[in-house]
Each structure stands twice: as C-alpha cells, then as structure tokens.
Chains A and B, each alone.
Chain A
Amino acid sequence: MKHTLILLTIVFLFSSCEKAILGPDEENTPTNNFDLLWKDFDKRYALFEVKQIDWYGLKTRYRSQIDNNTSESELWDIFTEMLEHLKDGHVSLKSDNDYFESGDSLIKVAQNEFDLDLVESTYLDYHTQTNDLGLSYGKVKDKDIGYIHFENVEGDNDKIFEDVMASLKNHAAIIVDLRNNSGGDDEYAHKIAGAFADGEHFIYSVQTRNGENYGDFDSKKLWYTKPVGNQQYLKPVVLITSRYTVSGAEILTLNMRVFGHITHLGDTTKGDHSDKSSDRFLANGWTYTYSFQKYLMPNGESLEGIGIAPEVYIRNSSADIEAGNDLMFEEALTYLYETYKI
C-alpha cells in the first residue's frame, strides 16, 4: 500500500504541473504574439490565392519591425498595417481599447451616403420598426409600393419577417433596401430570399480551407435558392445595395438578384463573402478573426474584395444626403414607374 501512496503522490504532483501536462504556455512577448498571429493566418486564412497576397513577403516586412521592446501601441499599428493588405472585412483585431477591421474605408464613405431617417421622412407614408432591431418596413408615399430595410441579417424570429411580408404582400411592388447593412447570418439570408423565390437557382459554391497549403480546400458545397413559406412575393421588387452592404447582406443579394422579378440597383456591394472565423486568442489579451472559406460564383469567379455589381448603377454622395435627396431611392421609384407603371 505504501507503493500505492507513493504512486498517487507522484500522480498528484504531476497533475499539478501545468508545463509537464500541457507544455509551456505561449509567451506574452511582441515577437511571439506576431508569430502566433502570422502562423495562424498562414495555416487557416482562405483567401491568400484569391486576393493574391504575398503573406511571406508581409512577414519579412513587418516581423523585422518588432522586437521585445516594441510597445503595445506600436504592435497594434504594425498588426493593423499588415492586416490591412488583406482588405477583408472579416479580418479584425480587437484589444481592450481598440477595434480594427481590414478594408473598411469603403464602408466609412458609404455609410454617409444613406440615411434611413431621410427615407422615412421624405419618401414614406409610415415606417415601422419591428422587434427584430435590424428590420423595419413601411409604404412609399402616394405609391402602391412597400418598403423593407434590413440593417443586418440577424433575425431571431422568422415570424417577424413573415408578418412584415404579410403586411406588404398586397402592394404592387416592394423596395428591399440593404444599404448600411452590416451582415449576419447566411441561413437567415436564405430564409428571407425564400419569401421572394421564383424557383431553384444555383447561386454560388462554398469551400472551406482544410489544410496547410493555401490551395487546400474541401469539396464544393453548392447553394441553391429555394422558396420558403406557403406564398412567395413574385411581383416587381427593387433591391438597393451600396458599398456598405456586407457579408450576410451580400449573400442575401446573391440569392435575390437571380429571381426574374427582382432588379438590383445601387452601388457595388463590399465583397466580403466568406464566413468569419471564431475569435482567435493572442497571449497579450487581443483577439482576431479572419475568413476561412472561399465563395465562388456559378462561373467560377470569386467576388471577394470585388463585390456584387448592380444591374442599374447609381450612387448617392454624402452631399446628396445632406441636401435631403436619396438619388438611389428615387431611381428605384423611377425604375418601377417606367418599367411597370407602378
């Protein structure tokens, strides 16, 4: 029994020793944090080839700027400068005090080229905010046209959107506005589009990175539109997008624009299609994310960093908005009148 006791004591001492069991923890030094970040992107980021990024070249350029005397703020600047080369809205970095999103300069411009309050006050009879914070709807003044604005694509309750569609289904047309939309859940995007679906269309394929080489991806998962619910809205629809139509909102755009009764109008979308990774952790307490998938259009082309171009191009300037004019909205009304006399 004495031997058992000794053995158990050894087991306990062993089990209390973190290094012996898990190996040494990651050091919180600027160089090690850089290496952790760079290597994780190297192993898992999906869009090096699509975006033609020389990731090793960036390492050479930025790793040499870091030593263990580099301050936190200097490290932040170096990380964000390196990640900005990816121009990918799903690449982010977060510290206690700061947040960075790669390639968000287009969004910063586009967000001033739309004002929902202006749409409400100038063009709508009424405008109702639903319990899904990102979803509101209304009716265009003096027109038989419904209006839906999605601020994001993150509905928790399908019934809310179904109720919106029930309220608007008798209108002769609907404007679906995806401007200033930060994205969200692809599954919800498919459900929304299903309310407008005129059938099954192949819209894109998705592949997830599954190996250490930049070209390692799993097999293509093909995505098709499909009707959702008992009744679809098949009357004319104008879909408005801008550069601030991002991610899940772009998936919604890809779904909607293939339907014959829907016209895509506005500005090109942001071009961030892949799903965003889980938060990744660094030893200095920062977190980051990245894209881990590749979305390809039916013609094999990737629109990452390019965006989805509209059929009818029009864009507001911030001066237009300040002057009280939403030219994109007005163009949608003009299009519906000239094409359908609505």
Chain B
Amino acid sequence: MHINWLLFLIALACASWVFYDTRPQPKLFRISWAFAVFVFWLLVFPLYLMKRRRLNLLRYDNQRIKALSCTKRSLLDFKTSLSSTD
C-alpha cells in the first residue's frame, strides 16, 4: 500500500513539473503531457525528457530569436527614423 502512494506521489510530482516546464506551450498541450505522465509515468516521463528539447526548449529558442529579431528590427527602424529625421 505504501509503495502505491509513493508511486502515486512520484507520478503526480513529475506531472506537475512537466506542466510547469511546458509553460510556453498552449494550455491543452501542457495538460495533455502532464496527464499522460501521471497515468503512465514509466513510459511517458522518459519520452518527455527525450523530447523535451524539441517540445519545449526549441520553443524557447524560437521565442528568443523572434524576440531578438524584433528588437533588432525595432533598432533598425529607430535608426532609419533617426537618419530620415536628419
């Protein structure tokens, strides 16, 4: 019985972490992964860890690149506007 609760808590903790870890993603996506980790921890949690970079970090990277390019573009715009004012 004790091992039941231990496994239950481990699965719950991992599911919570996955939900937190996938925060840049859409809510349905996050719930689906967390739910899958909870109900089949042994299979899905390692799968998540393997795919984590692609699922999650890539999104971070994309956002960062997007953010950087936005900043770059706005700097360029600012520069252009300055030059046009001159």
A binds B: no
List residues of B whose CB falls within 8 A of some A CB.
Answer: none
